[in-house]
Amino acid sequence: MFSIEAAKIFEILVRVVLVYLSCFILLRVSGRRELAELGAMDLLTMLLLSEAVSPAITGNEQSITGGVIAAATLLGVGVAFSWLSARSKRLDALIQGTAKILIVDGRVNAKTLRQLRITDEDLRSKLHEHGLLNVKDVARAYVEADGQITIIKREELESSRARFHAHA
């Protein structure tokens, strides 16, 4: 139940790192989605992904010790990525991604919309959440690295510019 060979420990460590990196690359390539609002298909994919990689992580090791080692290694890799990301802007952009411009002065960037697989309905819904009915009322909209859509209303941008120039 608790016994495990040193070679098996090393194997689990290597497996976890390889599976983590592989899943990370696959998730980055598949595109970003807002994790807070996973759709049914996205959630199902994530659940099945965890089940699919589970045996690969432990090499079918059934002991509690093997499971704890795998869990600790997963957490350690996550912390290492976070630590490295905080120390390098270039690595942070690679790991976390960067914001992409979705709307500029009321004009939608169709290429970004397609790249990120954002439907017209998704965009319309986001506009409605911000009390907007028309894309022409948007000064800027960004898809943040985490998949959130940030919308800056034209009136808010103009008001901000007016206040800034009034104090200058």
The per-residue pLDDT for range 116-168, each reduced to its tens digit, is 888 899 899 999 999 999 999 999 999 888 788 899 998 887 777 767 666 55
Q: What percent of the chain has pLDDT over 90?
A: 25
End-to-end CA distance of the chain: 71
**Which residues make Cβ contacts (< 8 Å) with residue 9, sequence separation at least 6?**
66, 69
Same domain, residue pair 84 and 13: yes
Neighbours of 92 (CB within 10 A): 17
Q: Which residue has the tokens 């290597």?
A: 14
Element (H, E) at 59: none
Look at the block and give the residue holding tokens 């004009």.
107
In this structure, the answer to whether residues 106 and 59 fall within a common structural domain is: no
CATH code for position 109: 3.30.240.20
Domain region containing 75: 6-96
The helix/strand/coil state of 8 is helix
Are 70 and 58 spatial neighbours (Cβ–Cβ below 8 Å)?
yes
Region of residue 31 (phi > 0: left; psi between -120 and 50: alpha; otherwise: beta): left
Per-residue pLDDT tens digits for 7-20: 888 988 898 888 88
Question: 1 in a domain, yes or no?
Answer: no
Residue 23 belongs to a domain: yes
Q: Clarify whether residues 44 and 119 are in a common domain.
A: no
Q: Residue 105 is which amino acid?
A: D
Instruction: Judge if 107 and 90 occupy the same domain.
Output: no
Enter the tokens of residue 96: 């976390």
Same domain, 16 and 81: yes
Quote the number of domains for the chain.
2
Q: pLDDT tier at 54 (50, 70, 90 boundaries)?
A: confident
